[in-house]
Structure 1
Amino acid sequence: MAVTEGTVPFREYRTWYRIVGELPAPDGKLPLLVINGGPGCPHDYLEDLSALAGENGRPVVFYDQLGCGRSDHPDEPGLWVMDTFVDEVAAVREELGLGRLHILGHSWGSQVALEYVLRRPAGLVGLVLAGPIAGAPAYEAEARRLKESLPPEVQEVIDRHEADGTTGDDAYVEATMAFHKRWLCRLDPWPDHLMRSLTNWREDVYETMWGAEWNVTGNLKDWDVTARLGELDLPVLVTSGRYDVATPTVVRPLADGIRGAEWVVFEQSAHLPSAEEPERFRQVLESFLHRAETAAPQRW
């Protein structure tokens, strides 16, 4: 399987990318550009999607967002705002010559994807929103509700360390794992590619933009595009897990607010069905991408 890696210029920095498969594909299948979650997290945990290239001949394009992974790591707090990451999508597309394509955004990546698509870029044929978020306040409320279902002693550790600003403490990390093992990934043990992403997480980027899963204190705390979802006019697939931190309360506004959106729930998964149910996730994904390509001509 062909794999191409390199960097593209973005502002005065470099963004690293990996293309799995041939670009352009010999049979004309359109590439899938993957925007992973975070903020501040490299793409590794979504590597199961690479198999689309071998199974279906579809090129898959990953990149590490600025500030993490193999991309440049500038120490510039002013960079960590939504516009930086939306502009980065455009830069990657332009430099790699991704004309007609599909985009998949997972978790925080769905926020970036929504902001990007709402700019009405040309050439976008299909959009996949996986474990998506349309509004930070709604997501925070649901994450807080899930946290409050943890044992009281675990909640106490989390709340105490957040109040004291000691979230680097081992006890806090262990307590938050009780949350993540229920609603992030239910595999045991966690796969290596997920551990690589978590080990290389850029915590300062995450804290600047988000804060904590259930306590959004960063500059995204008021982010909400729910009222604009009706502007989307292209094939959209929405996915989530039965035990997803992106609960039905979080996901339903997207499924209902985007005309014609399909919503598929993965019954054995939390927030990462691409890793928890990888074969079925790819089957659902490829079926949607194929149908999007054979639908009416792109209007944007």
Structure 2
Amino acid sequence: MNLKDGEFIVSLNGVDHWVKIEGSENETPPLIMIHGGPGGNHYVFERTAGPLLAKARTVVYYEQRGSGRSQKPKSDRDYSINLLVKDFIELKKWLGMEKVDLLGYSFGGELALEISNAIPAEINQLILSAPSLIYSEIDKMVKITGFMSIANTSQSNDIKMLLQEKLDIGEVLTGIWELVGPETVDKLLFENQIIARKNRQLWEESNLINTGKMIEALQSNPVEVPLTKRLNEINHHTLILTGAFDRNTGLPIAKILHTNLKNSSLVVFNKSAHFPDLEETDKFVDVINDFLKA
């Protein structure tokens, strides 16, 4: 199809998905945005870094099943990496493009790698911003350590008590999320708290809520072969972006990916935490545009 700007509702594997195209006049290969969460949305990105990228690129947003403005599947169990990849394949068919570029942020970076591993011939280049590895122990450990580094005295004592209980690492992390409030979450995700407040204002303005259903289903239905054991199969030219202060996924995850991917480069944002697209927007856009031109 000839891509045209606008918002669309597209049925993918029986689930209506919200799709938005911007910058079609640039007539470049589509840069498809893959959001995080799991279960998040693009509302903030499409009002911040997204329009700047669309000045030079054809940008395609879509929100995953049960996320943002897309329809919930019939069952709360109808979430898996395999289903999310199948939805993407149907989206790409709808776009009618032979090859596309991917920009995934947070869990979206991990999903972008899964997509590239599943349909390598149909993906051109990859950009991973603050990517996760949700099934790995180290991903959970980074988050726990991150919370410990910014928690107040009371929260720190509560976390220490959790760590002393006979819980597995996932249960400890779940317990921490239940303990902390919005202010602590903002400190985890952002170095600049003024930008954190702007981000939270946009979250509230969107009226879009992460139900948690996707992460629950994904955690109970892990992939058969961990992504970490398949990274060396992914040959795409890949750009990894990470904030120096990212306490949510951060340098430990970025370096695992950089070490194991055959054709990757790593750029560190020295003033950012988990969202360099918000804390260093201009640099974020410039680095991506330079990478895609190469």
Aligned pairs for 1:15-54 (under 5 A) are 15-22=17-24, 25-26=25-26, 28-47=27-46, 48-54=48-54
Which amino acid in structure 1 is aligned with residue 198 of structure 2?
A: W
Note the residue ranges of structure 1 that are not aligned, 5 or more in a row: 211-217, 292-300
Matched with 2:148 is: 148
Matched with 1:265 is: 268
Higher helix share: 2
Q: CA–CA distance in 2 between the matches of 1:49 and 1:138?
A: 29
Deviation at 1:5, TM superposition (A): 0.8
Deviation at 1:33, TM superposition (A): 0.2
Kept in 2: contact 1:185–1:272 (CA 8 A): no
Matched with 1:205 is: 214
Deviation at 1:156, TM superposition (A): 4.7
Q: Tell me whether 1:70 sits opposite 2:78 in the alignment.
A: no
Kept in 2: contact 1:15–1:65 (CA 8 A): yes
3-state SS of 1:251 partner: helix
Matched with 2:168 is: none
Which amino acid in structure 1 is aligned with residue 146 of structure 2?
A: L
Q: CA–CA distance in 2 between the matches of 1:100 and 1:82?
A: 21
Q: CA–CA distance in 1 between the matches of 2:186 and 2:223?
A: 21
Which amino acid in structure 2 is aligned with residue 153 of structure 1?
A: S
Kept in 2: contact 1:41–1:68 (CA 8 A): yes
Residue 53 to residue 239, structure 1, CA distance change in 2 (3 Å): closer
Match of 1:182 among 179, 188, 196: 188
Which amino acid in structure 2 is aligned with residue 154 of structure 1?
A: Q
Query: What is the root-mean-square deviation in Å for CA atoms of aligned residues?
Result: 2.8
- Detail structure 1 runs of 4+ shifted over 6 Å in the superposition: 165-169
Residue 108 to residue 184, structure 1, CA distance change in 2 (3 Å): farther
Deviation at 1:34, TM superposition (A): 0.6
Residue 173 to residue 282, structure 1, CA distance change in 2 (3 Å): same
3-state SS of 2:16 partner: strand
Q: Tell me whether 1:247 sits opposite 2:250 in the alignment.
A: yes
C-alpha deviations, 1:4-38, integer Å up to 9, x for none? Answer: 1112111222111000111xx45x42210011001
Kept in 2: contact 1:42–1:68 (CA 8 A): yes
Aligned pairs for 1:5-154 (under 5 A) are 5-22=7-24, 25-26=25-26, 28-47=27-46, 48-56=48-56, 58-134=57-133, 136-149=136-149, 150-154=151-155
Deviation at 1:157, TM superposition (A): 5.3
Q: CA–CA distance in 1 between the matches of 2:136 and 2:202?
A: 27
Identity among equivalent pairs (%): 25
3-state SS of 1:77 partner: coil
Kept in 2: contact 1:37–1:108 (CA 8 A): yes
Which amino acid in structure 1 is aligned with residue 43 of structure 2?
A: D
C-alpha deviations, 1:80-114, integer Å up to 9, x for none? Answer: 22112111111111112232220011111112111
Note the residue ranges of structure 2 that are not aligned, 5 or more in a row: 163-170
Q: CA–CA distance in 1 between the matches of 2:281 and 2:87?
A: 27
Deviation at 1:223, TM superposition (A): 7.3
Which amino acid in structure 2 is aligned with residue 17 of structure 1?
A: V
3-state SS of 1:98 partner: coil
Residue 199 to residue 15, structure 1, CA distance change in 2 (3 Å): closer
Q: CA–CA distance in 2 between the matches of 1:40 and 1:200?
A: 9
Deviation at 1:46, TM superposition (A): 1.8
Matched with 1:237 is: 239
TM-score, with structure 2 as normaliser: 0.82
Kept in 1: contact 2:186–2:193 (CA 8 A): no
C-alpha deviations, 1:215-238, integer Å up to 9, x for none? Answer: xxx444997312221111121000
